[in-house]
Amino acid sequence: MRRAKVLVLPAVVVLLAVACTKSNNNSSGGNNGGQSGNIGRVSVLNAMEPSEAQALQAVVDADINKNANYVATLEANADFETQVKIRVEGGNPPDVAFYPQPGSVIEQAKAGNAVALEDMGFTASELEKTYGSYLMGLVEYNGKHYGIPTNVNLKSMIWYPKDDFDKAGYKIPQTWDQLLALSAQIQKDGGTPWCVGFESGGATGWPATDWMEDIMLDTAGTSTYDKWVSHQIPFNDPSVVHAGQLMGQIMFHAGWVLGGAAQTPAIAFGDAPLPMFKEPPGCWLHRQANFINAFFPSDAVAGKDYDFFPFPKIDQQNTLIGGEYGVVFRNAPEVADFVRKFAGAKVQCDQGSNVASSRISPNADVQPSCYANKILGEASTVTTKALQAGTARFDASDAMPSAVGSGTFWSGMVKYMQDGPSSLNSVLSDIENSWPAS
């Protein structure tokens, strides 16, 4: 008994001391407190499809990891939005996260979690020269930039079955009226013009918001579009109502949408284009961003079985894009080095050599010839041109507050599809009412 007494107190004290010193050693991993040392690894959380992340990891291994004193790992998470929030707010952020929403980038900058690119050795002029002032302006907060563009999607695209389309003698429409006329012609010839699917699990409705945004951008123009995004005009403004009505012209037209508008929220967006590849085509037109080609049948040949034309001019022709920003949460030399190389021309060009890749580089130094997939090369040309001309605009729902952009805008569009044309006004005013105050 006596021996136990002697042993115990020192044991507790030693344990406490060991515990304290250990924890002190490692408490220097702060976010903005200057650069810390190289720990040999860079974790990159992203929202890619697992197959896409795998293909890209191979590029990263070859172009970056092989000649570096650190290992960068892409961690794809299907539940990215929730996971990144949990990890950042829980104090265990990834080193880099690829955010699909510039709105979230600004939120992280405001919260003081993200590291400014300027604090890691980038200069604003260099960034704007490489990625364009529009893309960089979206992630600017208090004069500093908090996200580096790593990927863009072209969203103003309409896909069609090229060989059948040509055989039937259809012409690519240049205007909205021609698009409607083409739809009517296809219906007259016994076909169904459109394939539309808005189902996407917890994010059901987002492809419908893209439709709205595309039409809004081409009717109201870029400046009104910007006001809409930043809520300088209400969500039920006449210009938005007009865009919704034009969308309804196609969606609610009897026999124009395969399965009918009310079914569209039940059709997975990835399955939606599949009828286009039947013989004869189950549908002839499909509006979706460039990444949809990852969902096409594996034996479909670009330029023969399918091709795309830009979303036609309505009152004007602008270009809707989406994208992805790399946001840094740990200011360290290896993280800065990774970000610089990943967004740089070599990696961005090499990722295009993979035919299965659907990523378009926002880097102006990346040439269309980098893309093994011919269609992606064309899409990159359209995107780069629009970015340079200032007619490109980022997906509105990704730039609006998430209560609207990831919430009521999605569910509102689903309601519009289910309840029909008469519900448009009430749907839009419901979304307007849900806009967070302040």
> Which amino acid type is present at position 129?
K
Binding of another protein at residue 19 (CB under 8 A)?
yes
Question: Of these, 229, 363, 410, 431, which contacts another protein (CB under 8 A)?
Answer: 410
Question: Of these, 58, 86, 294, 372, which contacts another protein (CB under 8 A)?
Answer: 86
Q: Residue 200 Cβ, how far from another protein at the closest point, in Å?
A: 8
Binding of another protein at residue 414 (CB under 8 A)?
yes
> Judged by CB under 8 A, which stretch of 5-13, 131-139, 158-166, 379-387 contacts another protein?
5-13
> Judged by CB under 8 A, which stretch of 77-85, 136-144, 177-185, 360-368 contacts another protein?
77-85
Instruction: Please list every residue from 317 through 346 that binds another protein, using CB under 8 A.
Output: none
- Asked if 375 and 289 count as a contact pair (C-beta separation under 8 A), the reply is no
Instruction: Annotate 258-274 with DSSP letters as a single string.
Output: TT-GGGGGGSBTTTTTG
Provide the β-strand partners of residue 394: 321
Tell me how far apart the alpha carbons of residues 256 and 42 are, in angstroms, rounded to a whole number. 49
Cis bond before residue 280 (omega within 30° of 0): yes
The values of phi and psi at residue 289, to 5°, are -65, 170
The values of phi and psi at residue 174, to 5°, are -100, -20
Instruction: Please list every residue from 35 through 54 that binds another protein, using CB under 8 A.
Output: 40-41
Binding of another protein at residue 11 (CB under 8 A)?
yes
Q: Residue 262 Cβ, how far from another protein at the closest point, in Å?
A: 8
Question: Of these, 354, 402, 423, 429, which contacts another protein (CB under 8 A)?
Answer: 402
Closer to another protein by Cβ: residue 18 or 389: 18
Instruction: Please list every residue from 185 through 244 that binds another protein, using CB under 8 A.
Output: 192, 197, 199-202, 204-205
Binding of another protein at residue 82 (CB under 8 A)?
yes
Tell me how far apart the alpha carbons of residues 44 and 151 are, in angstroms, rounded to a whole number. 14
Tell me how far apart the alpha carbons of residues 360 and 150 are, in angstroms, rounded to a whole number. 9
Binding of another protein at residue 81 (CB under 8 A)?
yes
The closest alpha carbon to 140, from 100, 96, 110, belongs to 110
Q: Whose structure tokens read 């189950």?
A: 282
Displacement of CA 379 from its chain's centroid (Å): 15
Over the window 357 to 396, marking each residue x when it contacts another protein by CB under 8 A and - when it does not, the resulting string is ----------------------------------------
Tell me how far apart the alpha carbons of residues 71 and 364 are, in angstroms, rounded to a whole number. 27
Binding of another protein at residue 5 (CB under 8 A)?
yes
Q: Residue 34 Cβ, how far from another protein at the closest point, in Å?
A: 21
Binding of another protein at residue 15 (CB under 8 A)?
yes
Binding of another protein at residue 438 (CB under 8 A)?
yes
Closer to another protein by Cβ: residue 390 or 436: 436
Over the window 115 to 154, marking each residue x when it contacts another protein by CB under 8 A and - when it does not, the resulting string is ----------------------------------------
Closer to another protein by Cβ: residue 19 or 294: 19
Q: What is the separation, in whole angstroms, between the first and last Cα of the chain?
A: 68
Q: Whose structure tokens read 């091709």?
A: 307
* Tokens (6 digits) for 230: 């930043």
Q: Identify the H or E element spanning 359.
A: none
Tell me how far apart the alpha carbons of residues 301 and 154 are, in angstroms, rounded to a whole number. 20
Q: How many residues bind another protein (CB under 8 A)?
A: 60
Q: Identify the H or E element spanning 17.
A: helix 2-25
Binding of another protein at residue 428 (CB under 8 A)?
no
The alpha carbon dihedral of 259, 261, 262, 267 has a sign of positive
User: Left (φ > 0), alpha (ψ -120 to 50) or beta: where does 237 sit?
Assistant: beta
Over the window 275 to 314, marking each residue x when it contacts another protein by CB under 8 A and - when it does not, the resulting string is x------xx-------------------------------
- Asked if 293 and 358 count as a contact pair (C-beta separation under 8 A), the reply is yes
Instruction: Please list every residue from 237 through 276 that binds another protein, using CB under 8 A.
Output: 258-260, 263, 265-267, 271-272, 274-275
Q: Where are the alpha helices (DSSP H) in 357-423?
A: 374-389, 396-399, 402-403, 409-419
Q: Which residues bind another protein (CB under 8 A)?
A: 1, 4-5, 7-9, 11-12, 15-16, 18-20, 22-23, 25-26, 40-41, 81-82, 85-86, 107, 111, 192, 197, 199-202, 204-205, 258-260, 263, 265-267, 271-272, 274-275, 282-283, 401-403, 406-407, 410-411, 414-415, 418, 430, 436-438
